[in-house]
Structure 1
Amino acid sequence: MRHALALSLVALFLGGCASNPADRDISGTWINQVAIDAAAKGSPLREALQAYGPNLEWDVNTRAAQARYTNGFENVDGKLLGEESGAWKVDFYGSSASELKRDGKQLSQAASDNEPEQVFDRAVIPVPEGAPLGASFERALYTAYMGGSWQVVSGPGEGNTVQFQADGQVAGLPGADRYALCLAGDCASMSGGNDNMWLQQNGQGNTWIFARKGKEMEIFQATNTAREDEMPQFTPGERKWLLEKQ
C-alpha cells in the first residue's frame, strides 16, 4: 500500500513538472538563430535569410497580450488571443494570424498560407535599453557573421587587422568607422540579389556590394546602373578590398 502510494506521489510530481507553466512561457525576445548559424558558415547572407526567413525576431509579452515581429523591413504588431493546448494565437488586427508555441527551448511559429514554419531561440546578447525591435537579431548576426579579426589581404590598409563590432562599429578599415548589413527591404531590392552593406565615416557613407565565400570576403564599389529618375540599381564594380578571417 505504501509502495503504491509512493509511486502515485512520484507520478503526480513528474506530471506537475511536465506541465510547468515556465516550460510553456513564450514571453521575451526570440531570434532566428537558424538563419544566423547558416550564414556564419560562410555562405551568402541573402541565401541564408531567404532559406530560413522571412521573420527575424519576435518580441512577446503575454501579460500585456502583445506580440510583435520584424522581418528586417517592417515591424508588425499583434495581439495575443490566449493559449490553447500550449499554442498561442496572434491576431494582427483582422488582417492575418499566426500561432506560436514552445518547443523545448525554442519558439515555433506554425506554417500559414503566407509563411513557412520557423523556429526561434531566446536572445542572449544584451542590447541597450530602448533598442528597436530587431536589434537582438542584428547583434547576434553581426557577432557570428562579421565578428572576430579580419586581415586586409588586398586594398587600402593592406595588412591591417579589421574588426567589425556587434554594435555596428568597425576598426581598421580605412575610410569607415561604422557599418550596417542589408537584411531586407529597399536596400535588398536595389542590389539585384547581391549582398550589400553600408559603410560610413563621420556620418557620411555609401552602399558597398560584398561577397562572402568561407573565410574570404570581397567588398566592391556599388555601381548604379539606373537613370536619375529611377530607383537605384547597384551592381558590383571595382573590387576595393579582399578580407580574410583569421
Structure 2
Amino acid sequence: MSPISARPEKNPFDFSSRVSEPKPGVFFVEGPASNWIIVSDDSGYILIDSGYPKDVSIVLDSIWHVGLKPGDAKAVLITHGHVDHLGSASRFVEAFGTPVLTSPEELSHVQGEVKHQVTLATCVLNAWRPGVFSWLKHAISAGALSPNPVPSAEAWTAGRLEALPGRPKAINVPGHTPGHAVILLQDADAVVTGDALITGHSLSRHTGPQMLDRMYHTDADEALAATHTLDDVDASIILPGHGPALQMSLKDALASLRSS
C-alpha cells in the first residue's frame, strides 16, 4: 500500500473554513497560496489543479474531508503547468496511476520539457515591491524550487473530458502560459478560471475579479486580450486559482476585471 493511500493524521489546515461547496458535488479548496477544485457525481470525481509540491498532504486530506478517497480520482486536470498548480499531481500518478490531463498546447510544460515560470531573478529584482518578498518566501518553502513535472501527462480531448464527472469543457485562454486553459463545468454552471482570472493574491490590494500581477504572465497583454475568449461563456460561479470563489456571472466578472 502506498504511504499516501491511508488517511493522513490530523492536519492543522482549517478545512471547515477553507473548503466550500458552491454547487452540490463541486468543492472549492482555498489552499495556502493557490486553490484546487474537487468535482464529484455518481460516476466518481476529478481533481482540478493540485497546489504546490508541499501542499500534497493538504490536497489529500481535502479529498478525504469531502468524503472521497484519493485513489479513486478519475483524473487530475491541470489548467497550466506552473508549480503552484501542478505540485501534487505527480504523487497521484506515482501512488495510484491517476491520469493527468492538460491542454495539448500546455502538455510540454506539464511534462517538464519547457518552462514558463516567473524566474527567481525576476522575483529578486521585484522584492522591494509590497508583498513580493513574503510571497517568494512562501513559494520557496512550499517547494517552488523543486517542481514535480509529470512526464506521463496526456493531452485531453473534448470527448475524454465530456465523459468525466461534471462534464468539463476546456477553453484555451493563452497568455499567462501559452497553453493555459479555463475549464467550464457544464453540469454546475461553474467555471474554473485558473490564473486567467483571479479574485485575490498576496500582491494585490483588493479582492474581486482581476488579473495576476504582470510579472507572472508569459505575455501579460495576450493574457488580458485572451479573456475575450470567455465573453460568450455562461457561468454564475467563478472558481479561481487564487482568491475566494465568487457567486457572480462570468460576464459581470470580466467587465469588472477590464474596468479595474
Interval containing the TM-score (normalised by the shorter chain):
under 0.3
Q: Which has the higher helix share?
A: 2
Q: Report 1 or 2 for greater relative contact order, CA contacts < 8 Å, sequence distance ≥ 6.
A: 2
Name the TM-score, length of structure 2 as normaliser: 0.25
TM-score of the superposed pair, with normalisation by structure 1: 0.26
| Structure whose residues are more often strand by fraction | 1
Query: Which entry has the higher C-alpha Rg, 1 or 2?
Result: 1
